[in-house]
Structure 1
Amino acid sequence: MDAGQTVRCNWRQNLAVIWISQFLSMASFSSAYTFMPFYFSSLGVPDEELSMYVALFNVAGNLTFCIFAPIWGMVADVYGRRIMLLRANFGAAVMLPLMALVNSPEWLILLRLGIGALTGTVAAAQTLLISTTPKEHRSFALGTIASALFGGMMAGQFLGGDYVMLFGFHSAFLASGGLLFVSGLLVLLGVRENFERRESMREHLAGIRWRLPRFGLVWYLLILFVFMGLAREFDNPFLPILVREVMHGAPEAVSWSGRISGFCSLAGILSGLLLGYLADRMSLIRVASAVIVIAGVMRIVQSFSSDVIQLLVERSLMVLAAGGIEPLLQSWLAGVTPEREHGSFFGWAACFKSVGWMLGALSGGCTASLLGGVRGVFFGSGIMFLLLVPLMLFTSRRLPPPRFRRAGR
């Protein structure tokens, strides 16, 4: 869009359309990725190497996402945030079905590198929402989108397990690509953005010093994103393996992995809405600290699970507590950074978070291999979550999250 040209924008309409779009996007990704350990097994990976291949798969995507997220964020600041969400959805719609064509685990990991570079619907959607939503409603908007993410995961994981059992992995990858295409169409037709282009990409690049930006105190918050990603991803890729162990290798472990993840996503819907609502009215730090402690304890409890129903309840309670933490951090970041640079800062935040994901997945895979099982991974993840509380309190003393007065107060 040329400078001075704007489009009327209704933030509530954008929120509603992006909610549906992200629901479909996450349903597609979760139906494809949740069962990746079983797909690796179908490609001939032996059980003793499975944890490491799963870790490498997650590290591969996070590595390229880490590299490209700041680049896409910079492009968003020049050309607009809506076009970045379109790029992520349509790019994933093309790339994800290609997983049906691979015939070796190595090719699957290489393809994941390409997907990580081209996609990133969540970061793009959050940046677009931040730029189109009034400050006093941002925590609510981000929490609402978190509910879409978990709702989509619920649909993808809950139905995906049975879909894979009935139609196979290849059909699931193709269906996932179709959902992502529909998600992109919704954004194309239903989302508007008031964006004024102020400079060309050449002018923008001319003003960049090719080094890490001077983040100032925002460094503390970005480091918190790293540790949050590390704690989250330490055990996430290994849930299907724990389910299979709890069920003593029963074939129904594929379906139960989806059901557990589905119930967790339902809990995440409630968590995102509730925490976003509370953070607009209470201290963000108090809300986040309380739920992080609950989530950490519940992760430790999961490491001792001996029954699949028990694991379902424990995992769901954990997500009910922790599901809305990340939107709270995003709202915190939006409140302490310049409006016109939100694309770049959210890109860097996604980069730092993906560093944490890489470290978490790789560390979890190494831990599982060294200990000869996955239970130690879940115990360690709980300890890492608990350590987030002092780190967050330390950060808040140096970079306090802003408080926005709601209209009418």
Structure 2
Amino acid sequence: MEQWRKNLIVLWFGQFLVMAGMTMIIPFMPLYLQYDLGMTDTEQVALWAGIIFAGNFVTAFIFQPIWGKYADRYGRKLMIIRSGFGMAIVIFLMGFATAPWHLLVLRLLNGTISGFNPASIALISATTPKDKIGFAMGSVQSGAIAGTILGPLIGGVLADMVGFRPIFYLTGALLLAATLLALFVVKEDFDRKQAANSKSESVIDGLKELSRIPQLLALFGVTLLIQFANMSPMSLIPLFVQELHHSATNIAFWAGFVGSATGLSNLIASPVLGRLSDRIGAERILAVSLLGAALAFIPQAYAGTVGQLLIARFGLGLFLGGLIPTVNTLIRKYTPDGMESRAYSFNSSTLALGNMIAPIAGGAVSGSIGIRGLFLISSVLMLLNGVWVWYTLLRGKRHLQQPKKQPENNQSRGS
């Protein structure tokens, strides 16, 4: 097997485990605080659960660009190993927490040492043949997205089977195994001497340099809006499922099933759309996927049964599979050599920012417009994203492809 394929397979599992480990606590965190940590005030439980969940993304937003700088200087594989071992230890320790602040500190630490995902994407982009880059990006990103969406379902199922604390031990052990696999299987041809001799820039200077490239700024903005549109209704879907189900039984199962449908279709679509982007261009796939996602949010707003919602969420996942992977492909296309990890880290920071603000904004707005209104807002945001992509990427690409008119040569015309 070619080395780039080995890298892709190993890092797919790593991406899946990292994102699943970060999100699988969603279904049982309030219960963990109540039954294992002894909290009795329901308002305090809700407050601590929200703070603990957001803590990871707050520090990740701050530190991702810093680790990206070191990845460009010392190698992406080194950052993958550093982050993988660190997060495996931190997640394992969460199972020993005896107070809410223990969990908060560990989640903050987990976000601080994170960087597995952007380093993995940068390594894949650097080691994959150019004609396979779309397929590789779609594949590796499908692992991260599937982990994000399936994590809560896995966490809910495991909580019923083995209890709360063993989930942290199991997740830490699996992440440790994935990191060891990356240590011995993943290979990167990285010239540290050349990187050390290159110009050293601070994180702020790196951001300034990348911000001079309008396509990259547009892609960072697209990433933020995609994440905001996708995540703002997520925390309210269990309540919507309860409303549609008309029963108090099996609500958690159906809520998890609805969420996992999006992850399943995303998992299927990402490699297919990635391969297609290698043929017709990532810009076109991104624009079509944004339009499709905008349309897929509409039937969710008008769903009358859980089955209808399930089908609509499955359809949404087919188009989500063409969003973040094509953004990553285009980031590699427009990023100067030697700054790939920093570019992916800044993009990862925008993802973390979307994860932070989307649930808060969604919860605040839903009080006046309901979750059905949130689905329609998400549709509009995706549509605006599509217009932005056309204006900043597709329109500019067509302009560059137009043949330039050659000035007439007076001398040749006179002769």
CA drift of 1:105 comes to: 5.4
CA drift of 1:316 comes to: 1.4
1:380 corresponds to which letter in structure 2? I
CA drift of 1:190 comes to: 0.8
- For residues 305-364 of structure 1, the C-alpha deviation after alignment (integer angstroms, 9 at most, x for no partner) is 343333222211111111231010000010011222111111112123322332323211
Question: 2: distance between equivalents of 1:299 and 1:48?
Answer: 33
Equivalent residue number for residue 407 of structure 1 = none
| Structure number with higher relative contact order (C-alpha < 8 Å, ≥ 6 residues apart) | 1
- For residues 1-44 of structure 1, the C-alpha deviation after alignment (integer angstroms, 9 at most, x for no partner) is xxxxxxxx821221122223333434444433455466567655
Equivalent residue number for residue 381 of structure 1 = 378
Question: 1: distance between equivalents of 2:254 and 2:99?
Answer: 26
CA drift of 1:397 comes to: 5.0
Quickly say closer, same or farther: Cα 1:161–1:358, change in 2 above 3 A: closer
Q: Does the aligned pair in 1 maintain the 2:24–2:151 contact within 8 Å?
A: yes
- For residues 121-171 of structure 1, the C-alpha deviation after alignment (integer angstroms, 9 at most, x for no partner) is 322211110111122211110111123334545764554432211222222
Quickly say closer, same or farther: Cα 1:244–1:104, change in 2 above 3 A: farther
CA drift of 1:224 comes to: 2.2
Instruction: Please tell me whether residue 96 in structure 1 is matched to residue 91 in structure 2.
Output: yes
- For residues 11-90 of structure 1, the aligned pairs below 5 Å read 11-33=4-26, 35-36=28-29, 39=32, 44=40, 46=42, 50=46, 56-90=51-85
Q: Does the aligned pair in 2 maintain the 1:37–1:241 contact within 8 Å?
A: no
Q: Does the aligned pair in 2 maintain the 1:226–1:352 contact within 8 Å?
A: yes
Equivalent residue number for residue 392 of structure 1 = 389
Quickly say closer, same or farther: Cα 1:87–1:238, change in 2 above 3 A: farther
Q: Does the aligned pair in 1 maintain the 2:68–2:115 contact within 8 Å?
A: no
Percent identical among aligned pairs is 29
106, 113, 138: which one aligns with 1:111 = 106
229, 246, 255: which one aligns with 1:231 = 229
Question: 2: distance between equivalents of 1:45 and 1:135?
Answer: 56
Quickly say closer, same or farther: Cα 1:121–1:210, change in 2 above 3 A: closer
CA drift of 1:257 comes to: 2.8
Deviates more, 1:167-176 or 1:69-78: 167-176
Higher helix share: 2
- For residues 3-14 of structure 1, the aligned pairs below 5 Å read 10-14=3-7
Quickly say closer, same or farther: Cα 1:114–1:316, change in 2 above 3 A: same
Identify unmatched segments of 5+ residues in structure 2: 401-415
Q: Secondary structure at the match of 1:340?
A: coil
Q: Secondary structure at the match of 1:13?
A: helix
Q: Secondary structure at the match of 2:192?
A: coil
Q: Does the aligned pair in 1 maintain the 2:132–2:275 contact within 8 Å?
A: no
CA drift of 1:95 comes to: 1.6
Equivalent residue number for residue 404 of structure 2 = none
Equivalent residue number for residue 408 of structure 2 = none
Report how many aligned residue pairs link the two structures: 392
Q: Secondary structure at the match of 2:339?
A: helix
Equivalent residue number for residue 300 of structure 1 = 298
Question: 2: distance between equivalents of 1:399 and 1:249?
Answer: 52
- For residues 6-405 of structure 1, the aligned pairs below 5 Å read 10-33=3-26, 35-36=28-29, 39=32, 44=40, 46=42, 50=46, 56-102=51-97, 108-152=103-147, 156-198=151-193, 207-208=201-202, 210-211=204-205, 212-214=207-209, 215-216=211-212, 217=214, 218-247=216-245, 250=248, 252-368=250-366, 370-371=367-368, 374-396=371-393, 400=397
2:25 corresponds to which letter in structure 1? A
| TM value normalised by structure 1 | 0.83
CA drift of 1:265 comes to: 1.6
CA drift of 1:67 comes to: 0.7
Question: 1: distance between equivalents of 2:118 and 2:27?
Answer: 20
Question: 2: distance between equivalents of 1:37 and 1:300?
Answer: 31
1:32 corresponds to which letter in structure 2? I
Question: 2: distance between equivalents of 1:41 and 1:380?
Answer: 34
Q: Does the aligned pair in 1 maintain the 2:26–2:152 contact within 8 Å?
A: no
RMSD, aligned α-carbons: 3.2
Question: 1: distance between equivalents of 2:167 and 2:218?
Answer: 41
Superposed structure 1 runs of 4+ greater than 6 Å apart: none
Quickly say closer, same or farther: Cα 1:148–1:300, change in 2 above 3 A: same
Q: Does the aligned pair in 2 maintain the 1:302–1:311 contact within 8 Å?
A: yes
Deviates more, 1:308-317 or 1:245-254: 245-254
Q: Secondary structure at the match of 1:213?
A: helix
Question: 1: distance between equivalents of 2:236 and 2:105?
Answer: 20
| TM value normalised by structure 2 | 0.82
Quickly say closer, same or farther: Cα 1:239–1:180, change in 2 above 3 A: farther
CA drift of 1:108 comes to: 4.0
2:386 corresponds to which letter in structure 1? V
Q: Does the aligned pair in 2 maintain the 1:55–1:364 contact within 8 Å?
A: no
Q: Does the aligned pair in 1 maintain the 2:71–2:79 contact within 8 Å?
A: yes
Question: 1: distance between equivalents of 2:375 and 2:28?
Answer: 18
Q: Secondary structure at the match of 2:25?
A: helix
